[in-house]
């Protein structure tokens, strides 16, 4: 079966240059347009991954208005397309404007076919990576109950979701361990919804947010007159979760005296409200979470070991966002689209420096921090593309930005791949070209370009 060649749309009104570009990209399925109408028609029918766009097109061949109009239309119709803009008109100003409007890269005329070819192939590589991320996320959302609540392409996080799905229909107690902001409550809700208890209540309580003298009443309830202010009998969270799931967030903050009462409930499945001696049987499943080191707390005498083993029949460790390569960008784009739709429709995406800053940041506040930064940036952004400054992140070093899409990084990556392919094929040009997925003439051009010929 022949592999389908990637689509490349060339928008250029010079017939000679059209033919030259079509010949140069023989490893692509190239379609050519000379004006706005034909370009947008081909965009809709051919769905190209990459577009090369000359800004100087009729009826404004000596300006840039028509080219920018096409760029805007492409970004509105198919924003994932990688558009490489070429122009000789006011190069620096045109480049800045093109990138701000969503172009992948800019190339100044006169065109060097080899150099432009490298940019085109790197754009295709990025498009394929983004497409694969979207496929992974869509498959997860479609096929999995728990994983459908997660937006991730990280194997570490997918394993977490699958573990929770396996234990969802059991009655074992589950402990979620992870730093603040990693999504512990989201996973707890996913577990509940994937279980046989899904039609009953999911009740959550943050044990760290309630004063110690009130926590017992919140968990176990109280009788009328049990203490000052107890004007009526009130069921606690455990009773409210009868038949369903009780989520104890920050369980490490439960005081020792109350740990004893919680342990008794887990052993006997009965409770006593504050101010009462009546035993009330309650069937509820316990899911708990903490960011603390409970084993260290046990060693220090601050957490009961017997309670730990009752709560931690299954332990699930949730990785921080920094341990999930690629997820920060994936999540940031999802948050941006959500909040742009709700609060600032003019915002279309992230600028290059923002994506580099997101990748470089260590995210101590995890997903919660990322969501807050993106939400604030969308609200405050003045441009169509959110920048690093809008996210209140440090402007990344030029080297970091270059590593994403500039010529030096592309050349370095291409040299490395070509050298490896040549080594594997023992210098055989046909085998190397096949391995790289390019034609022999293209490989010869690259070898000459990078001075890799023997």
Q: Residue 136: what pLDDT?
A: 61
Residues 6+ apart with CB under 8 A from 112: none
- Tens digit of pLDDT for each residue in 381-393? 888 889 889 999 9
Q: Residue 399: what pLDDT?
A: 46
Q: Residue 149: what pLDDT?
A: 63
Domain boundary among 384, 402, 420: 402
Q: Are residues 34 and 16 in the same domain?
A: yes
CATH of the domain at 34: 3.40.50.2300
What CA–CA distance (Å, rounded) separates 100 from 303? 54
Token digits of residue 261: 């009462």
Q: Are residues 347 and 297 in the same domain?
A: no
Token digits of residue 408: 């030096």
> Higher confidence at residue 100 or residue 452?
100
Residues 6+ apart with CB under 8 A from 295: 308
With beta carbons less than 8 A apart as the criterion, state whether 89 and 66 touch.
no
Is the pLDDT assigned to residue 404 strictly greater than 70? no
Q: Are residues 159 and 300 in the same domain?
A: yes
With beta carbons less than 8 A apart as the criterion, state whether 442 and 26 touch.
yes
Q: Are residues 270 and 340 in the same domain?
A: no
Domain boundary among 116, 143, 170: 143
Q: Are residues 9 and 73 in the same domain?
A: yes
CA 392 to chain CA mean position, Å: 19
Is the pLDDT assigned to residue 138 strictly greater than 60? no
Q: Are residues 279 and 361 in the same domain?
A: no
Confidence of residue 356 (pLDDT cuts 50, 70, 90): confident
Q: Are residues 290 and 352 in the same domain?
A: no
Indicate whether 423 belongs to any domain: no
Is the pLDDT assigned to residue 369 strictly greater than 80? yes
> Higher confidence at residue 195 or residue 411?
195
User: 3-state class of 109 per DSSP?
Assistant: coil
Q: Are residues 167 and 200 in the same domain?
A: yes
What CA–CA distance (Å, rounded) separates 53 from 107? 10
Token digits of residue 357: 């800053």
Q: Are residues 362 and 222 in the same domain?
A: no
Is the pLDDT assigned to residue 269 strictly greater than 50? yes
Give Rg (Cα) of the chain.
Answer: 29
User: 3-state class of 112 per DSSP?
Assistant: coil
Is the pLDDT assigned to residue 403 strictly greater than 50? no
Is the pLDDT assigned to residue 152 strictly greater than 50? yes
With beta carbons less than 8 A apart as the criterion, state whether 185 and 204 touch.
yes
C-alpha distance from residue 1 to each of 4, 49 (Å): 9, 21
Q: What are phi and psi of 226, to 5 degrees?
A: -65, -30
Q: Are residues 190 and 289 in the same domain?
A: yes
Indicate whether 284 belongs to any domain: yes
Q: What are phi and psi of 418, to 5 degrees?
A: -65, -45
Is the pLDDT assigned to residue 146 strictly greater than 70? no
Token digits of residue 449: 């370009």
Q: Residue 412: what pLDDT?
A: 64
Q: Are residues 333 and 385 in the same domain?
A: yes
Token digits of residue 211: 């004063």
| DSSP conformation letters of 299-348 | HTTSS-HHHHHHH-SEEEEPPPGGGSTTHHHHHHHHHHHHHHHHH-TT--
Indicate whether 440 belongs to any domain: no
| Lowest-confidence segment of 72-81, 238-247, 384-393, 396-405 by average pLDDT | 396-405
Name the β-bridge partners of 105. 84
Q: Residue 2: what pLDDT?
A: 46
C-alpha distance from residue 101 to each of 8, 53, 350, 389 (Å): 20, 13, 10, 17
Confidence of residue 199 (pLDDT cuts 50, 70, 90): very high
Per-position b or e across 204-216, b if 16+ CB within 10 A of its CB: bbebeebeeeebb
Residues 6+ apart with CB under 8 A from 5: 27, 28, 29
Domain boundary among 402, 425, 443: 402
Token digits of residue 58: 């009729």
Q: Are residues 100 and 182 in the same domain?
A: no
Strands 7-11 and 50-54: parallel
For the chain, counts of helices (H) and of strands (E): 19, 14
Is the pLDDT assigned to residue 406 strictly greater than 60? no
- Tens digit of pLDDT for each residue in 299-338? 999 999 999 999 999 999 999 999 987 788 889 988 999 9
Indicate whether 445 belongs to any domain: no
- Tens digit of pLDDT for each residue in 161-190? 889 989 998 999 999 999 999 989 999 999
The residue segments making up the domain with residue 5 are 1-143
- Tens digit of pLDDT for each residue in 278-297? 999 999 999 999 999 999 99
Q: Residue 401: what pLDDT?
A: 44
Indicate whether 259 belongs to any domain: yes
Q: Residue 367: what pLDDT?
A: 93
Q: Residue 26: what pLDDT?
A: 79
> Higher confidence at residue 257 or residue 17?
257
- Tens digit of pLDDT for each residue in 407-426? 555 666 777 778 777 767 76
CATH of the domain at 346: 1.10.8.60
How many other CB atoms sit within 10 Å of the CB of residue 279? 10
| DSSP conformation letters of 86-143 | EE-SSHHHHHHHHHHTT-SEEEESSP-HHHHHHHHHHHHHHHHHHHHHHHHHHHHHHH
Total of domains in the chain: 3
Residues 6+ apart with CB under 8 A from 185: 204, 247, 249, 289
Q: Residue 409: what pLDDT?
A: 55
Indicate whether 337 belongs to any domain: yes
Give the rounded percent of residues in the chain with a pLDDT score beyond 70.
90
What CA–CA distance (Å, rounded) separates 444 from 117? 13
Element (H, E) at 31: strand 29-33
Indicate whether 412 belongs to any domain: no
Indicate whether 176 belongs to any domain: yes
What CA–CA distance (Å, rounded) separates 352 from 324? 21
Name the β-bridge partners of 285. 245
CATH of the domain at 285: 3.40.50.300
Confidence of residue 236 (pLDDT cuts 50, 70, 90): very high
Question: Residue 437: which region, alpha, beta or left (left: phi > 0; alpha: psi -120 to 50)?
Answer: left
């Amino acid at each position: 079966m022949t592999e389908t060649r990637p689509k490349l749309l060339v928008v250029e009104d010079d017939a000679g240059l059209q033919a030259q570009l079509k010949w140069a990209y023989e490893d692509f399925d190239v379609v050519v347009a000379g004006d706005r109408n034909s370009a947008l028609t081909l965009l809709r029918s051919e769905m190209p991954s990459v577009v090369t766009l000359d800004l100087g097109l009729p009826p404004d061949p000596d300006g840039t208005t028509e080219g920018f109009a096409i760029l805007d239309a492409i970004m509105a119709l198919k924003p994932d397309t990688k558009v490489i803009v070429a122009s000789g008109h006011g190069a620096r100003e045109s480049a800045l404007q093109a990138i701000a409007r969503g172009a992948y890269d800019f190339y100044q005329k006169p065109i060097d076919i080899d150099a432009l070819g490298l940019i085109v192939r790197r754009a295709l590589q990025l498009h394929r990576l983004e497409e694969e991320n979207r496929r992974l996320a869509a498959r997860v959302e479609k096929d999995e109950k728990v994983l459908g609540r997660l937006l991730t392409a990280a194997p570490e996080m997918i394993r977490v979701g699958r573990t929770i799905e396996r234990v969802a229909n059991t009655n074992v107690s589950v402990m979620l361990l992870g730093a603040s902001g990693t999504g512990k409550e989201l996973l707890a809700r996913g577990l509940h919804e994937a279980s046989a208890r899904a039609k009953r209540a999911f009740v959550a309580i943050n044990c760290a947010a309630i004063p110690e003298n009130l926590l017992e009443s919140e968990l176990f309830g109280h009788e009328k007159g049990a203490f000052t202010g107890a004007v009526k009998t009130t069921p606690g969270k455990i009773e409210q979760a009868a038949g369903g799931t009780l989520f104890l967030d920050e369980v490490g903050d439960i005081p020792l005296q109350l740990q004893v009462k919680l342990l008794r409930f887990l052993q006997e499945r009965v409770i006593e409200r504050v101010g009462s001696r009546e035993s009330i049987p309650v069937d509820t499943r316990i899911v708990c979470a903490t960011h603390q080191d409970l084993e260290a707390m046990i060693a220090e005498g601050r957490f009961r070991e017997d309670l730990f083993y009752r709560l931690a029949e299954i332990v699930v460790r949730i990785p921080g966002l920094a341990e999930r390569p690629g997820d920060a960008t994936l999540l940031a784009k999802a948050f941006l689209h959500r909040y742009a739709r709700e609060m600032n429709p003019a915002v279309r995406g992230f600028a290059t420096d923002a994506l580099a800053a997101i990748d470089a940041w260590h995210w101590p506040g995890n997903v919660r921090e990322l969501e807050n930064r993106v939400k604030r940036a969308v609200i405050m952004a003045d441009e169509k593309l959110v920048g690093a400054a809008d996210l209140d992140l440090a402007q990344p070093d030029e080297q970091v930005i270059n590593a994403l899409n500039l010529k030096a990084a592309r050349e370095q990556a291409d040299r490395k791949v070509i050298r490896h392919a040549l080594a594997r094929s023992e210098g055989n040009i046909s085998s190397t070209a096949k391995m790289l997925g390019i034609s022999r003439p293209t490989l010869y051009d690259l070898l000459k370009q990078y001075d890799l010929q023997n």
